[in-house]
Amino acid sequence: MASIERTFASDHPAAEGHFPGNPIIPGAVLLSTLLDAIRCELGVSLSPCRIKAAKFYSPVRPGDSVIVEFTGTASGDVRFECAVSGRKVLAGQVECSAVPENP
């Protein structure tokens, strides 16, 4: 299992207005960021991909550092789990076609 970390800026633009007085990082932004982090770590393109499962357990806030742990499955999918300060925030599985970025 591989592990990577991504920190969301305290002034992340996606949190503006989502929600006033109680900002969170939208789920779509969180998913996009973790897929990009996995892509960078593996050095492969994950496109096209399909999110087979995603469960949001707890909000991610601007300024949070998210630890992403992921592993490949025998079918070629990628399973992931994300945590902030040891608190699980997201888990799921992505079906993708991993292709080297620089063949």
Which candidate in 18, 46, 63, 84 is catalytic?
A: 18
Strands, E, within the chain: which ranges? 2-7, 44-45, 49-56, 65-72, 78-84, 87-96, 99-100
Instruction: Say if residues 67 and 5 touch (Cβ distance below 8 Å).
Output: yes
Q: Which of 62, 60, 65 is nearest to 11 (CA)?
A: 62
* Number of residues written out for the chain: 103
12 assigned to active site = no
Is 15 within 8 Å of 84 (Cβ atoms)?
no
Tell me which residues are annotated as active site.
18
